[in-house]
Amino acid sequence: MESLVRFLARAGSFPRRHAETLIREGRIRVNDAPALSPSLQVNAQDRVFLDGRLLSAEVIKVYIALNKPDGYMSDLKDTGGRKLARDLIKHDLRLFPVGRLDYHSEGLMIFTNDGDLANQIMHPRYNVTKEYLVKFKGLLPKEVVTRMRQGIHIEGELYQAEAIRLVKKAPANVWYSMVVNEGKNRMIRKMGAAVGHPVLRLRRVRIGKLRLGDLNPGEYRHVERNEII
């Protein structure tokens, strides 16, 4: 036996407060009767419905690819009142971001409720690479590109690019493709600053096998796990 609100949190990945709201709004039925209390006890034989849809006790894994625009926070909360990338996704499930992007960075983010996938994406030992398009200030000399590939020590940590190549060169518009297999905080921005070529713009275009594709800023789509790794 468990409380109805706990069942909803587990089966639907709903935050507790949202689950309580669903019950108050009369959208939850247990067997053939409306649920009137979050503390109502349910067991494995009970059938719980949300808006007429049967909820399974088995947690459904969800994977969403989002094109995060500039000016959005990757965190699930922000006390400063800034816009949240999570709010761009119209989904009731409790999802968390994998591979965060800082406030001014753009591009591919994954939101999921699959903790195992998150661990595989973020831990270097699984070698799930991420690709970025990076606009540095100025053209990178060959020796700087070599340093980035070999690794740069910053504040006692090694920051290293698996690959870096020039993809667009114009007088005031130099872009590189940069591949890394780690998710250190502000990694590419720190590397650019360390070699004297600050990052002017940063867009993630790939995580594992999953590419950003033609998603416009602020758009998202559901994907399958095997599209990612």
Helices (H) and strands (E) in the chain, counts: 5, 17
Q: Would you say domain 2-54 falls under CATH 3.40.50.10190?
A: no
pLDDT, tens only, 151-197: 999 999 999 999 999 999 887 779 999 999 988 889 999 999 999 99
Q: In this model, does residue 227 exceed pLDDT 80?
A: yes
What CATH code is assigned to 61-127+210-229?
3.30.70.580
Residue 14 banded pLDDT, cuts 50, 70, 90: confident
| Interatomic CA distance for residues 55 and 165, integer angstroms | 49
Tokens matching residue 40: 């109502």
Domain boundaries, the chain: 2-54, 61-127+210-229, 129-207
Looking at every residue in the chain, the average pLDDT score rounds to 91
Same fold, 61-127+210-229 and 129-207: yes
Q: In this model, does residue 91 exceed pLDDT 70?
A: yes
pLDDT, tens only, 55-76: 876 667 899 999 999 999 998 8
Q: In this model, does residue 9 exceed pLDDT 70?
A: yes
pLDDT given at position 13 = 64
pLDDT given at position 64 = 96
Contact at 8 Å (CB) between 59 and 13? yes
Which CATH fold would you assign to the domain 129-207? Alpha-Beta Plaits (3.30.70)
For 136, counting Cβ atoms within 10 Å of its Cβ (0-12 exposed, 13-18 middle, 19+ buried), the class is buried
| Interatomic CA distance for residues 146 and 137, integer angstroms | 17
- To which H or E segment does residue 210 belong? strand 210-211
Catalytically active residues, by annotation:
102
Most confident range (mean pLDDT) of 10-19, 130-139, 172-181 is 130-139
Beta strand 199-207 with 106-112 is parallel
List the beta bridge partners of residue 136: 199
Contact at 8 Å (CB) between 102 and 207? no
Q: What is the DSSP string of 112-168?
A: ES-HHHHHHHHSGGG---EEEEEEESSPPPHHHHHHHHH-EEETTEEE--SEEEEEE
Q: In this model, does residue 45 exceed pLDDT 90?
A: no
